[in-house]
Structure 1
Amino acid sequence: MTQATETVGFVGVGLMGQGMAKNIVEKGYKLTVIAHRNRAPVEDLVARGATEATSMQQMAEACSVIFLCLTGSPEVEAAIAALKPGLARGSVIVDCSTSDPTVTQRIAADLAEIGVDFADAPLSRTPKEAWEGTLDCMVGANDAVFARIEPVIATWAAKIVHIGGIGDGHKMKLLNNFISLGYAAIYSEALALSRKVGIPVAEFDKVIRGGRMDCGFYQTFMGYTLEGNREAHKFTLTNAYKDIRYVESMANAATVTTTMASAVKNTFAGAVATGGAGSEDYVPHLADFVAKANGIK
């Protein structure tokens, strides 16, 4: 246990957030959490030493640093509106969601007017690493705020990169997700083509695995395709589609052509539109939708 002076709040104890919050409380910080739809994560965290808030205002009044791990910018804006009446000057809100950078900068400017700091600290990796405390984190914040929140982030992240100012963390996260979701679209199409030309998935994998085209994302992706593990990478197709739309929006604002990003977006849009909008359809399952579109079971 460490001696921790910040009182920490956590909003969004879902697939990623529960593991992050577990590491915060177990490594010495006084933690306050709040329930949304699923009470099981909150009850687990309370059993580990966290306190449950009955309202967002109560959480704001009790905490000096509040982490948000939500679906996207609309949810972040709603959470901050609910927290705002209880926020004290000098407190910090840290958005770990994958959000729209333009919204992030607008929120930061609004909170600055009431003396509240804001930082964006989105994540990379999976719920497994969240539980183990070994996530990657890219942070957008001024130097003083980064120095203040870095020890708390270090409870759940093994790799922390201070990218730059407010919004830069979210910009980098979108670039990161563009690459990873682009991989998913390429893998899915390559696997469909492999099947069509008579190359079994197992033989395809023998060539890629351990070679120059191998990587950690490929291995978790193939955890479903090759081994049938539906939870190999628990990141929904719906969230992936949202993220790649944010990438496209960022590119449009920067006047950058989106030849590849739009192609990736359309692959995920096709999956979501044809049944992949559920809470249990994850990124590796994209291969099924691309296969089906090509007449493959």
Structure 2
Amino acid sequence: MRIGIIGVGSMGGAVAERLLDLGHTVAVWDVDAEKMRRCAERGATPSSSLQDLAKYSETLIASLPSPKAVRDTFLDKSLLDGLRPGTIVVDLSTVDPETSRVAYQSLKARDASYLDAPVSGGPRRAATGRLTITVGGDPDAFHRCEALLRQLGEKVFYVGGPGSGSVFKLINQLLVFAHAYAAMEALTLCKTLGLDPAKMYEVVTAGSGNSFIFQEMVRMAISGEVWGGRTSLLIKDINLTHEMAQKSGAHLRLCRFLKETADRMEESGYGGDDAVKDFRAFVEMVARGGA
């Protein structure tokens, strides 16, 4: 299968690596030529334009950083003109459901299919095919590319019509941000009280307060390992979740608090590329009365 990938940053690059390892023929396009060069070193073919990538590909996979990037890409005339009839676009990006529906309608008008298929698990799991993928869109399009999706994800859920995958992903991100902040507060309190963080980790991971985010973030905070999750993307996600909740008429107190916290993190300079480091530093600053 000839697969084109739009956006080969940390997640898109890991997906490209996974597909190449499985023997697929992969072409890539990114606004950053250096990212395409790194993929080429692994065996992918760089494309000169979105149109060339669309003409080449039987299936397109996108991994883009924002709703604007998704809209700009799937409303782009050159890409639309290059699409083959029947092409399926699998969008792994985390965006609002309205953006997913706009992209769906744009591609439908060109006899192509769009699936909003945001992922959870991070680049490491992507490289080994262990992502969780929630998929929205037409069921026929889902069934046509389900086998490919299961090469990327160990858990693949079809959750409904266009935009549904994005809704589920943003609900997930509400919990991710909450767990991340709570995990770093627990670690900070433990240290403030003079107790051993490693022992706290052992106790909590054996109890009902445990979560995947607690396990990963606290373990890495203790060991000094870099998680690879970008704080800037988590901030973007919680803002999208808050916006989605407001539009739905749901007044969610925790979601509002987390959105305000995200704004403070960004304003204080904690919106970089290492979520463990940023969350830990911000929570410790707040604990000292610094924000």
Taking structure 1 as the reference length, what is the TM-score of the superposition?
0.90
Match of 1:242 among 226, 236, 239: 236
Which aligned pairs between 1:38-57 and structure 2 lie closer than 5 A? 39=34, 41-57=35-51
Q: CA, structure 1 residues 256+245, in 2 after alignment: closer, same or farther (shift >3 Å)?
A: same
Match of 1:63 among 44, 57, 79: 57
1:287 pairs with 2:280: yes
Contact 1:222 1:284 in 2 (8 A): no
Rounded to whole Å, the distance in 2 between the matches of 1:295 and 1:121 is: 41
Rounded to whole Å, the distance in 2 between the matches of 1:158 and 1:139 is: 13
Match of 2:19 among 24, 48, 68: 24
Contact 2:235 2:271 in 1 (8 A): no
Contact 1:98 1:174 in 2 (8 A): yes
- Aligned-pair Cα RMSD in Å: 2.0
**TM-superposed deviation, 1:198:** 3.8
1:272 pairs with 2:266: yes
Residues 77-113 of structure 1, C-alpha deviations (whole Å, 9 max, x = no match): 1222342231232212211000110111122122212
Rounded to whole Å, the distance in 2 between the matches of 1:88 and 1:123 is: 25
Q: Report how many aligned residue pairs link the two structures.
A: 288
Residues 206-243 of structure 1, C-alpha deviations (whole Å, 9 max, x = no match): 321222222322111013321111x12x2211111110
Contact 1:19 1:133 in 2 (8 A): no
Structure with bigger helix share is 2
1:190 pairs with 2:186: yes
Rounded to whole Å, the distance in 2 between the matches of 1:8 and 1:53 is: 12
Q: Name the structure 2 match of 1:97.
A: 93
**TM-superposed deviation, 1:247:** 0.6
Residues 105-140 of structure 1, C-alpha deviations (whole Å, 9 max, x = no match): 122122212212111111011211111111111111
Rounded to whole Å, the distance in 2 between the matches of 1:288 and 1:74 is: 30
Which aligned pairs between 1:1-297 and structure 2 lie closer than 5 A? 4=1, 7-37=2-32, 39=34, 41-82=35-76, 83-229=79-225, 231-232=226-227, 234-278=228-272, 280-283=273-276, 285-295=278-288
Taking structure 2 as the reference length, what is the TM-score of the superposition?
0.92
| Gaps in structure 1 of 5+ consecutive residues | none
Residues 34-87 of structure 1, C-alpha deviations (whole Å, 9 max, x = no match): 243262x53343344322111111101111211110112111112223422312
| Gaps in structure 2 of 5+ consecutive residues | none
Residues 179-201 of structure 1, C-alpha deviations (whole Å, 9 max, x = no match): 11110111222333333444443
Residues 158-186 of structure 1, C-alpha deviations (whole Å, 9 max, x = no match): 11111111111110001111111110111
Contact 2:187 2:218 in 1 (8 A): no
**TM-superposed deviation, 1:291:** 0.6
Rounded to whole Å, the distance in 1 between the matches of 2:277 and 2:179 is: 10
Deviates more, 1:87-96 or 1:245-254: 87-96
How high is the sequence identity, in percent, across the aligned residues? 26
Contact 2:26 2:45 in 1 (8 A): yes
Rounded to whole Å, the distance in 2 between the matches of 1:105 and 1:118 is: 9
Deviates more, 1:184-193 or 1:256-265: 184-193
Deviates more, 1:245-254 or 1:25-34: 25-34
Rounded to whole Å, the distance in 1 between the matches of 2:183 and 2:199 is: 14
| DSSP-derived class of the 1:59 partner | helix
| DSSP-derived class of the 2:271 partner | coil
Deviates more, 1:166-175 or 1:261-270: 261-270
